[in-house]
Structure 1
Amino acid sequence: MQSDPLNFLKDVDVRLSVELGGALMPLREVMALREDSVVPLDRLTDELVDIAVNGRRIARGEVVVQGNRFALRIVEMEGHEPATALADPAEA
């Protein structure tokens, strides 16, 4: 039985990040931000968040609490298999 020659890549660490939303603001408002400032985001509370690996979206999910930490529940995966989502966008 022959093993996958790229199998070693499964142990490479990648950065998983979550985008809760964004805001378009004039620079004057950004410069006026202080502690306790509240910035409304462009995403509703019941909308799914984007989950990305190294800056490329791979899934959408919900923010949940697990113990005393935030966690993610994956709701939708991009594409049909995870390897597709991790491919170089320039090659797509």
Structure 2
Amino acid sequence: MNFQTGFSTRGFDFLKDVDVRLSVELGRTDMKLKDVLSLGEESIVLLDRLTDELLDVMVNGKVIAKGEIVAQGNRFGLRIVEMADQGANPVADID
């Protein structure tokens, strides 16, 4: 997927007040059910993403950008680093 620095919203003004769900994916892993059932406090689950990789920023399950975690006071935030390419397929499906 190609990423760029911004999205054009020209022609979509009528949609700007529609609610969408923005989420950030830290990573994924496949596990056997028996391993999931054995999880408890203090368990550690290794994910497929490296610590220096950008995170997927998704709207309604579609990747729209890449970003990195930041701290704002006592809360997590996200700094957008790259926006998805607006070409023929402006957003990509996730698995």
Q: Which TM bucket (shorter chain)?
A: 0.7 to 0.9
Q: Which residue is equivalent to 2:75?
A: 69
Match of 1:35 among 26, 41, 52: 41
CA distance in 2, matches of 1:5, 1:37: 48
CA distance in 1, matches of 2:83, 2:12: 22
Root mean square deviation, CA, Å: 2.2
Match of 1:58 among 53, 64, 70: 64
CA distance in 2, matches of 1:50, 1:6: 23
TM-score, normalising length: structure 1:
0.78
Matched, 1:26 2:32: yes
AA aligned to 1:28 is K
SS in 1 for 2:79: strand
Could you list the per-position Cα deviations for residues 27-60 of structure 1 after superposition, in whole angstroms to 9, with x for gaps in the alignment? 1111101122110111111100000000000000
Instruction: Return 5+ residue gaps in structure 2 as ranges.
Output: 1-9
Structure with the largest fraction of helix:
1
Residues 33 and 72 of structure 1, relative CA distance in 2, 3 Å threshold: same
AA aligned to 2:63 is R
Match of 1:14 among 8, 13, 20: 20
Structure with the largest fraction of strand:
2
Give % identity: 60
Instruction: Return 5+ residue gaps in structure 1 as ranges.
Output: none
Structure with higher Rg: it is 1
The CA deviation at 1:23 is: 1.0
User: When the two structures are aligned, how many residues end up with a matched partner?
Assistant: 82
